[in-house]
Amino acid sequence: MSIEFANESGVEVPAELIIEAARFAIVAMDVNPAALLSVLCVDEDTMADMHVQWMDLPGPTDVMSFPMDELVPGGRPDAADLGPAILGDIVLCPEFAAQQAKTAKRSFDHELSMLTIHGVLHLLGFDHADPDEEREMFGLQNEILDAFYAERHRLAQQQRQSDRDARLLSNIGFTGDPGATDVPPEEK
């Protein structure tokens, strides 16, 4: 899977977190692992222009999605593998997202993760134009977001344990070198 990221917003954003959230959502939705995705962060003026041009709505918004190859989650098991496809583009507006996060009493990082997952779902054909669609899309978005955080938490715990193990082993003189005796110097 290839995810291109560009930040033209003038706002510092956690690029790796955004990419990680996008990758997690794509995998969770069983999209072809060779799919291509582009994520672009823009300023409010650029987002407002895009919002008018593509949605005929005034002012900036938090996220817009532009699907390319109209992929769907999973696909049919008997369908031929279409190979790599362009999932599409997600455009985020960090300034707008920061204001939205503050109003909702959420962190900026959380807001960007949520909006990225939201954007991926739009690329896969999900929408929230009517109450049933909204319930389905936001329910799925929250499931993926919860699983994303659970996986990040698990990996962080695993890293902390690995770091503790490495410190413990270095404190007792274990080098991991098969040719070394791994006996502490005071015992030699």
Torsions phi, psi of 164, nearest 5? -65, -45
Q: Is 110 annotated as a binding residue?
A: no
**SS3 state at 62:** coil
CB 27 within 8 A of CB 73: no
Residues contacting residue 84 through CB under 8 Å, at least 6 positions apart: 32, 34, 35, 36
Q: Is 128 annotated as a binding residue?
A: yes
Task: Report the 10 Å Cβ neighbour count for 177.
Answer: 8
> What tokens does 94 get?
């960090």
Q: Is 51 annotated as a binding residue?
A: no
What is the spatial distance between Cα 140 and Cα 125, in angstroms, rounded to a whole number? 13
Q: Which residues are annotated as a binding site?
A: 118, 122, 128
Q: Which residues are annotated as a binding site for Zn(2+)?
A: 118, 122, 128
